[in-house]
Structure 1
Amino acid sequence: MSALPSELPYDSVDPELALKYAIHHHARERVQIVEGVIEPMTLGWDHEAVAGRVRRQLSDRVHALDCLMGAGDLDLPGSSNWFVPDVAVVPARLTEGGGALLPGQTLLVVEVASETSGDTDRVVKPRRYGEYGAPLYLLIDRRSRACTLYAEPGPTGYARTTGPLPFGEPVGLPEPFGVRLDTSEF
């Protein structure tokens, strides 16, 4: 027989795990956790249009790399973060089983900054994605009308930044992509 909740010591419950489980399994809307704060994902069609343009431009290369592209959950274990990127490119073999992946298992993470997510996408996510090993992080900032590509992840974020590049100037994604994104319609 399992212990009653009143018999369990509070220190036996991992609050990070409990919060992430509750959000992932019981939220009726799409949410992410950023630095311990639950943020609903309320995206407009203009936001989705930019993400869709990125997906279309990367589609052939993603297929050739035997990867999938989507907006799946990314867990950052040991932190109070559970991110839902606008676009993530991951090896297809890692998507079997349906659970969250780690940023270091991606090839590319793309965030389209909106008015509600802008500070998170500009400040928190470059640091956290870098700390957790996402090889490339592309920030598409609609407020400043520019793109910034972060590369060379490390313990304090990213060591190399390209940009901000104004919309209209192509963004070169290094290998394994080897493509230049057209940003003129962002």
Structure 2
Amino acid sequence: MSTAAHTPGDYSVSDPERALKYAIQHVAGDRAEIIEGVITPLSPSWAHENAADMVRRQLSPRLNDLDLVAGSGNLDLPGSENWFIPDLAIVPRELAAKTEGALVPDQTLLVVEVTSPSNGETDRTVKRRRYGQYGAPLYLLVDRQQRECTLFSSPGRLGYATTDGPHPFGTPLRLPAPFDLTLDTSDF
């Protein structure tokens, strides 16, 4: 039996990042993210899911050719209090097949986020900066509220150095290598 005094409300942990990420994986459920230290449940609408699926369908032929997988698996941002579940991430099939836990953004080839009224600003600012800082080569923002798409590339310490857009929905958007295809954005 411990004789050490316990102060009510004293629940300090030695590694808050680890504690948060444990909670998100084991307590909060399958559809929750950590955004700048705040656990955020996800519940996308069907219109939101439709926009993500439209990107996935257009990429599918290239994914098969390049042996890539499209999914919405966990992305860890080590050293930060962030744990993201992108609407769509494209990763090498071999890597996806052997990874039970989370990947990190620099293991992706493309990350896609579709905005909703509840998360639009997070996708436009926090996720754009963090995906760039953590090396995701391409970040496609499908902004349903602004009705535009933007492709970010050239990741670096401060985020992305190159921006293609914003382009109004209906404007074809070229995805560079390895995809080398043009997305039809008219029905997002």
Q: Same fold (TM over 0.5)?
A: yes
Equivalence for 1:134: 136
Describe the SS at the equivalent of 1:63: helix
Q: Distance in 2 between matches of 1:117 and 1:39?
A: 10
TM-score, structure 2 as length reference? 0.92
Distance verdict in 2 for CA 1:18–1:91, change over 3 Å: same
Is 2:4 the partner of 1:38? no
Residue pair 2:48, 2:114 contacting (<8 A) in 1 also: yes
Equivalence for 1:114: 116
Question: Per-residue deviation at 1:18?
Answer: 1.3
Describe the SS at the equivalent of 1:147: strand
Describe the SS at the equivalent of 2:112: strand
Question: Per-residue deviation at 1:98?
Answer: 1.2
Equivalence for 2:76: 75
Q: Distance in 1 between matches of 2:27 and 2:33?
A: 13
Q: Distance in 2 between matches of 1:12 and 1:81?
A: 17
**1:110-149 Cα deviation digits (max 9, x unpaired):** 0001101101000111110000000000000001100000
Equivalence for 1:179: 181
Equivalence for 1:91: 92
Equivalence for 1:151: 153
Residue pair 2:133, 2:155 contacting (<8 A) in 1 also: yes
Moved segments of 4+, more than 6 Å: none
Describe the SS at the equivalent of 2:79: coil
Ranges in structure 2 where 5+ consecutive residues have no aligned partner: 5-10
Q: Distance in 1 between matches of 2:129 and 2:21?
A: 20
Q: Distance in 2 between matches of 1:177 and 1:125?
A: 22
Ranges in structure 1 where 5+ consecutive residues have no aligned partner: none
Q: Distance in 1 between matches of 2:13 and 2:138?
A: 37
Q: Distance in 2 between matches of 1:163 and 1:182?
A: 14
Give the root-mean-square deviation of aligned CA atoms: 1.6
Give the letter aligned to residue 112 of structure 1: V
Question: Per-residue deviation at 1:63?
Answer: 1.4
Give the letter aligned to residue 165 of structure 1: H
Residue pair 2:175, 2:183 contacting (<8 A) in 1 also: yes
Give the letter aligned to residue 158 of structure 2: T
TM-score, structure 1 as length reference? 0.92
Distance verdict in 2 for CA 1:62–1:165, change over 3 Å: same
Question: Per-residue deviation at 1:11?
Answer: 7.9
Question: Per-residue deviation at 1:12?
Answer: 7.0
**1:29-49 Cα deviation digits (max 9, x unpaired):** 510000011111010100000
Residue pair 2:13, 2:19 contacting (<8 A) in 1 also: no
Give me the identity figure in percent: 60
Q: How many residues align?
A: 180
Give the letter aligned to residue 21 of structure 1: Y
Describe the SS at the equivalent of 2:118: coil
